[in-house]
Chains A and B, each alone.
Chain A
Amino acid sequence: MEPFPDTVVDLAAAVAKGTHSAEEIMCETLDRIEATDHSLRAFLSRDGDRALDQARQMDQARSTGEPLGPLAGVPVAVKDNICTTFGATTCGSRILEPFHSEYDAHVASRLQDAGAIIVGKTNLDAFAMGSSTENSAFGETRNPWDVSRVSGGSSGGSAAAVAARMVPAALGSDTGGSVRQPASFCGVVGLKPTYGRISRYGLVAYGSSLDQIGPITTNVRDAALLLSVIAGHDDRDSTSVEEPVPNYADSLSRDLTGLRIGISEEYFGEGLDKEVEKSVRAALDTLQQEGAEVVSVHLPHMKYAIASYYLIATAEASSNLARFDGVHYGHRTEKPRDIIDLYASSRGEAFGAEVKRRIMLGTFALSSGYYDAYYLKALRVRTLVKNDFDEAFQQVDLLASPVAPTTAFAVGEKTDDPLAMYLGDIYTISANLAGICAMSLPCGFDSKGMPIGLQLMGPHFGEERLLAAGHQFQRVTDFHTRRPPSVASDRSVA
């Protein structure tokens, strides 16, 4: 009885060495999904037959001595706003329920070229708009640590699938915290790379100056490996930068001695749950014991980040989502009176409440007479938020904070109050406004047993430092190795 490998690094090594076949790993993965997902609903669609076929082809290739990619045979899941030529790409919305992409997103191609096998598409708040997956038209994803609670959002399906050990890694997208917050709620690692680090070709756009794809894994080493595979310039996304891609795994061993980590009291103010605060401060003590220096910095404009974000993101969304018009793809109303009614009724029938709310807020902020007072004002405040970070990173290498003010809340708790839901994004949003990299990693549990996340933030293209610090933290802590009570830890194969 070999213990069954559970991490990306171990699974890839097992396939490369031949201690486990890709088929064996895929069978185990599909069994786990079958046994677990009915209570969580992390997946919107999956294609086990296709995944098994690919696994067998991988084993065949290995037996004939073909070179294997760095993720050969590793099962992964991708958020359902990332286009794939197999299955549907719904974005969690009725308007794209009938949509099948004719092309693969850049990240989907990169994963598959590296040998990873995509087993399915994960649930999300429709068009990545939300913080709980409750805005999915296909039902919310539950938290593996307590199924009466939300998984977080918008990449809740990806975070729950990884936390429940259905897959070792998944991709999400992060516009205001949508990778980091669900990772925190589900007790896994979520990385939002620097704006421009990864091509978004094939990611259905929400807020184009904010969106970034990121990996969700159980540990930092795996996140580093995935980032190395998916990062880099792509001609099809002109915002993806030419910056060289290091092998992020190489710098993980860098210790914390002399690393300057900034904390800002703006991140520990009113509304922060006491247990969350205690765990985050304890994590800072750990980092200090390992040689980091913790210093105080001031980020005076953080309190304006939510207001700035919800004007900018919704303005961009109102423009991006204009393409869903019932003409070229997606839902079309049955009997339109004329072309305008075809647009308006198709959209009115198939967009969910939160998507409509954001389109309306964004349309208002961009409309004649209000543009300067709302949209342009928000862009000016964005500059102030960005300047705060620029100044802070003159003094420190990284910043640390909580990921979210609370642990995962109950399903239904905030659905009637959109503003209350938005306010929960307070600690994650500013990284998107500034375009910097940031990561969520497990740093404790509250008295109810729900995971707590530590956020580390780094300057533009500071992923090596960020990942190294996270890895060093995980070397001396075990929060990331704990599993939800429903997930057995002694799985093994004969």
Chain B
Amino acid sequence: MASTLDEKTVRHVASLARLEITDEEVALYAEQLSKILHYVEQLNELNTDDVEPTAHPLPVTNVMRDDTVRESYDPDRALSNAPQRQDSFFRVPKVLDQESA
């Protein structure tokens, strides 16, 4: 385990999380997250080789429903919170023709 997060890793993680953060935030998070990681590494005191992971506290299974047509929102209602819309669509900057897309 890496018990410190350097600024380069913080920038990488922020980019994975699609979070624009300032240089000051990078420095602050590097320090704070390193401290938190150092704390959580106490989990390594435990040998868990033979322990199954628990993702859910109760046994849950997929619940299926019939694939039937049901009433849904009309476009105006579905788009009522859209920051920008055009006709019946959410409007966003051009997605194709970009290296980052």
Interface size classification for chain A: 35 or more
Shortest distance between the CB of A89 and any CB in chain B (Å): 10
Tell me whether A347 and B20 are in contact in the complex, defined as CB-CB below 8 angstroms, given that A102-B80, A238-B60, A380-B48 are known contacts: yes
A436 to B57, CA, bound (A): 8
A401 to B88, CA, bound (A): 55
User: Is B68 engaged at the interface, CB distance under 8 Å to the other chain?
Assistant: no
Question: Which residue of B1, B35, B46, B80 is within 8 Å of A373 (Cβ)?
Answer: B1
A351 to B29, CA, bound (A): 14
User: Is A4 engaged at the interface, CB distance under 8 Å to the other chain?
Assistant: no
A-contact bits for B40-56, CB 8 A (1 contact / 0 none): 11111110100111111
List chain B residues, Cβ under 8 A from A340: 18, 100-101
User: Are the C-beta atoms of A356 and B21 separated by less than 8 Å?
Assistant: yes
Shortest distance between the CB of A121 and any CB in chain B (Å): 17
Tell me whether A238 and B63 are in contact in the complex, defined as CB-CB below 8 angstroms, given that A329-B82, A343-B18 are known contacts: yes
List chain B residues, Cβ under 8 A from A332: 83-84
Count how many chain B residues have C-beta atoms less than 8 Å from C-beta atoms of the other chain. Answer: 58
User: Are the C-beta atoms of B73 and A356 separated by less than 8 Å?
Assistant: no
Interface of A is mostly: helix
Q: Which of A130-138, A145-153, A320-328 contacts B (4 or more CB under 8 A)?
A: A320-328
User: Is B27 engaged at the interface, CB distance under 8 Å to the other chain?
Assistant: no
Q: Which of A35-43, A273-281, A382-390, A475-483 contacts B (4 or more CB under 8 A)?
A: A382-390
Within 8 A of B (CB), among A346-387: 347-349, 351, 353, 356-357, 359-361, 363-364, 367, 370, 373-374, 376-384, 386
List chain B residues, Cβ under 8 A from A341: 20
User: Is B92 engaged at the interface, CB distance under 8 Å to the other chain?
Assistant: yes
User: Is A407 engaged at the interface, CB distance under 8 Å to the other chain?
Assistant: no
Question: Which residue of B17, B36, B82 is within 8 Å of A318 (Cβ)?
Answer: B17
Question: CB within 8 Å of B: which residues of A?
Answer: 98-100, 102, 195-196, 209, 235, 238-239, 241, 301, 303-304, 306-308, 310-311, 318, 322, 325-332, 336-345, 347-349, 351, 353, 356-357, 359-361, 363-364, 367, 370, 373-374, 376-384, 386, 418-419, 422, 433-436, 460
Can you list 25 residue pairs at the A/B interface with Cβ under 8 Å?
A99-B81, A238-B60, A239-B60, A306-B39, A307-B40, A307-B43, A329-B83, A339-B100, A340-B101, A351-B19, A356-B19, A360-B19, A363-B16, A364-B33, A370-B1, A370-B2, A374-B1, A377-B43, A380-B53, A381-B46, A383-B52, A418-B36, A419-B32, A422-B36, A460-B57
